[in-house]
Structure formats: C-alpha cells, structure tokens
Amino acid sequence: MQTLRRKPRSAQQKFAEKIALLQQKSFKQIGEVFEKFIPCSILKPEETGAMSRRRLFSKENTFWAFFSQVLDADGGCKEVIRKLQSYASIKGVKIPSSSTASYCTARKNLPEQMLSEILEHTADQLDEMPETGLLNNRRVVVVDGTGVTMPDTPENQEVWPQPSSQKPGCGFPSARICACFSLESGALLSYEIGNKKSHELPLFRKQWDTFKRGDIVLGDKGFCSYFDTATLQKQDVDSVVTLARRAPVREARSVEKLGPDDLLIKWPRPKYYKRLSCSREEWEQLPKELTLRQIKVTVACPGFRTQGFHIVTTLLDATLYPAEELAELYFKRWDVELFFRDIKTTMGMDVLRCQTPEMVRKEILMHFIAYNCIRRLMYEAAGEANIAVRVVSFKGSLQALRSWEPHLNQAQISKKERFKLISDLYDAMTNTPIRQRPGRSEPRCVKRRPKNYQRMTVPRSEMKEIPHRNRYRATTP
C-alpha cells in the first residue's frame, strides 16, 4: 500500500548531508576570489587513489584549505580546523574534532606535480599582462637567491643540513632558493631549491628553459659569468649584470666609445677549470671572445651603500638601449628583494613549518602559488582603479584579503552580492597607494634592541639555564 509519507533517511544519508553542508563553503570561501586564476580541471578528484574519494578533505577542499593556511597570519594547521569548527557551529552541525591528523594526511596526499602545474599556470597568466614600453617591450626576467629555514628534524637535516659551525641541536636546516621573477608583473616564473653548498649559478642554470627568445636577464654580480652570458646569448637571450671577478676595461683598451662612461669591449674566454659545472667540450664550443658593452654608473643619491659600479650587457645598440635607461633598469633590480620580502616576511615563508622534505617542498610551492594569485589580484584591482600596479601595496592587499575572507564565507550569497564584495575588496586594495620617495635614505640598521636572552650553544637536553641570565652565560653540566 502506497502512502504519501516520506521514506525515513538512514544515518549514512544524514551524515553525508552534514558533510556536504560543511564542504559547501568552509574551505572554498577564499576560492571565490581566486578560483578563476586556477584551472578547475586540475582540482578534480583522481580516478583512483587517495584523492579519488569525495570526503570532507577532498582534493579540492584540501588544496583550498592549504591555500588559506599560507595566507593566514597564524599559518598553522590548527587554524584550518578552527575555521571548519566555526562554520559547523554556525550551521548547527556537530563540531568536528580538533585533531589536525586528517587534514595533515590529506595535505600529504596532494600531488607535488599538480602544485607545480598550478604554479606554472599562474605564472603564464601573469605573463599575459599588457606591454609597458620598457626596453622596446621586451620581457625582463630578474634572478636572485634567498634562504629559508625549517624545523630541526633528522629528515630535513639530511637534505638541507645546517652550517657546520653550529653544534647539533643548536641550529636549523637551511635551504637555498634561486628564483626568476618577471620584473614588470612580479610573477614568480620558476625556482630551484638547493642546500647550503649550492651556489646560485648552478640553480639558475636549471631554469634556462624558463626564458624565451628576446628576453633580458637582469642579475647582480653573483650571475656575472662568461659561460652563462655566452650560452644565453646563443638562445637570443640578452644579459644585464654587474661586473664581478674582472677589472673594468679602460677606455684606451676598449673597442669603441659609445658615450660618456659607455664602452664597447671584448671579453676573452677564460681558461677551463675543473670546478666549472660544464664539461671541457661544452667550454670549447663557446666563442673565444665576447663583444659586450660596459657602462659605468655613478650613484648620486645619499644613503646608498654603493657610490658607483659597472654594468656589462649584451645589448650593444646605444640608440635602442641608452645607457641611462639601462642604469635605471638596474636600479629596478632591487624589486626582486622586495618580491622575496613579500613572500618570506609578509606571507611568513621565512621559517617553514613542515617536518619532512616532501612537505617542505609542497609548502614552498603553495606559498609561491598564493603569491602569484595575489599579484594577479593586484593587477586587476590596479586596472579598475586606473593606477600603476607598482603603487599597490602587497602587504595592504594581503591584509584586505584576510579581512574580506569571512564575508565571502556565506552559504546564501547571490552573484550580485559576491560581485559587490569583490569590487569593495579591489577598492580597499587600491585606496591607499604607496608613496614614491626616490632617493630616500634607508640605512641598513636595527633601531629596536633585541631581548637579552642567552644563546643556545649546546643541545636543549644539555642546556642548564642560569637564573641571572643577563649577567652570566649558560653552562653545561
């Protein structure tokens, strides 16, 4: 006998509905802003394996949770769980456990290759920004290196050992990162990770496939190398670097004088050394000499450490590339230090949190993905406000994004309301442009005194703390 009474739902169906409710926006609220920058096809569940099941920490939810984690001011795994608990409390659903085990396991199952593909996609999107007229609309790629530290675990120490001058248990594993950025957009195009013994040049050479024909490489004196300059020139990639390890060529020995402090010079190929990272055959295939351009730059701004330096470049045409423009280009090289500051200090990548090398690499990748997405957001906001993107503050944009994230976490929100929220977010990012103060003195010093704590000179288990630590040093038993 048929009745109009609805069939009672099983406990499994009720639980599935609660999980679907939590999945609705608990992790994807930040995706309301960034999901158009990241292809949805990459975040689809796998056909088989750990990331194939549709659970609370699915592949898509785990990615956005990890993404939100690196944007948070706290940056801990517990922060993700607290967001989930607060959303469950609002919806009247049973609050999940405070344990981070499930989230950490799901985060570990995220494929590293997938994160690399997402980073490449975000870099390609930023590379499509409109031309600016700089150096005949040629793309300038600036390269530099930096260091990061991580938790002191045996696994991390094996891959990225601490300096030998530090005793075991008193230091932290340190990794070296060499990265290439687009000077105009600030996008991170590629990177390589090494340990304390890795020089920046070998890491840079692993990224040569990043460059396209017609690119210009901009670097400091650490990248002044005959091998790199000659090899990149064969690929139709020009270089602008600071002269290092060679004495400047005098005017009397130059090939031609192109202008004041602007000379056309010849560089003879150095002798082959076994410590070079290339073979003798590769070295012999290089030209016996390079025709370069040497420009002397005098720094007249007060407060700068350097009073003058020499630039060497393969851009030989003084009409197309005036010396003043190249000097101004090298002055903009300092932007790469600001890019690293945005990632390490503002986003908190200076000290990593993960305990294993596999997760350390994923944590670095996720920071770079979030950084590129914020850069893209800054470009869109600057375009709507009709201002230059260079005056949009990265830190201010991140602060606005953190403040707007809870407002996007609403179950019932129309497209019109979402559009208004994002429009207001753009206004908040651009309503306080950075003041441009060229020539302002910025001395490298610290005004605030550090706390007068004793240094850890022995492992923690052997350390004996002295009560009057402001007068005495620690002793060992």
Closest CA to 321 of 366, 259, 394: 259
Cβ-proximal residues to 466 (8 Å cutoff; 6+ apart), any chain:
454, 472, 473, 474, 475
317-372 pLDDT, tens per residue?
A: 999 999 999 998 988 898 999 999 999 999 999 999 999 999 999 999 999 999 99
Question: By C-alpha distance, which of 193, 186, 187, 189 is closest to 145?
Answer: 193
CA-closest candidate to residue 241, choices 217, 269, 258: 217
**Continuous segment of H or E residues that includes residue 418:** helix 415-430
Tokens of 171: 């230091």
Nearest one of 205, 290, 295, 189 to 241, comparing CA atoms: 295
> Under the phi-then-psi rule, with left for phi > 0, alpha for psi from -120 to 50, and beta for the rest, what region is 453?
beta
Q: What is the CA radius of gyration of the chain?
A: 27
Please state, in angstroms and rounded to a whole number, the distance separating the CA atoms of residues 311 and 382.
33
The pLDDT value recorded for residue 179 is 96
Q: For residue range 55-75, list pLDDT tens digits in order.
A: 667 888 888 889 988 988 888
Q: Quick one: residue 213, left, alpha or beta (phi over 0 = left, psi -120 to 50 = alpha)?
A: beta
Separation of alpha carbons 466 and 338, rounded Å: 41
Q: Give me the residue label for tokens 């003041």.
A: 435
What are φ and ψ of residue 268, in 5° steps?
A: -75, 150
Global pTM reads: 0.87
For residue 118 the two structure tokens come to: 């997402």
Q: Report how far residue 238's alpha carbon sits from residue 273's, in angstroms, rounded to the nearest whole number.
A: 25
Q: What angle do CA 209, 66, 22 make, to 5 degrees?
A: 140
pLDDT of residue 91: 62
Give residue 226's Cα distance to chain centre: 28
Cross-strand bridge partners of residue 175: 148
Q: What angle do CA 45, 51, 57 make, to 5 degrees?
A: 95
Q: What contacts 419, CB < 8 A, 6 or more positions away?
A: none
Q: Which residue in the block uniquely carries the two structure tokens 């050992």?
A: 161
Spell out where 88-186 has E strands. 140-149, 174-182
Strands (E), 195-288: 216-219, 238-242, 256-259, 262-268
Residue 178 and residue 145: Cα distance in Å, rounded? 4
What is the per-residue pLDDT for 20? 58
Residues of the chain with pLDDT under 50: 1-4
Name the 3-class secondary structure at 293. Answer: strand
C-alpha distances (whole Å) from 205 to each of 136, 314, 424 are 26, 18, 43
d(CA 213, CA 211): 7
Using CA atoms, how far apart are residues 230 and 150, in angstroms rounded to an integer? 37
The secondary structure of 43-111 as a DSSP string is: GSPPSSSTTSS-STT-HHHHHHHHHHHHHSSS--HHHHHHHHHHHHHHHTPPPPPS--HHHHHHHHTS-
Tokens at residue 101, please?
A: 């085990």
- 383-389, Cβ contacts within 8 angstroms, sequence gap of 24 or more: 384/423, 384/426, 384/430, 385/426, 385/427, 385/430, 387/430, 387/433, 389/185
Q: What is the DSSP-derived secondary structure letter of residue 464?
A: B
Reported residue count of the chain is: 477
Please tell me the predicted confidence (pLDDT) of residue 411.
Answer: 54
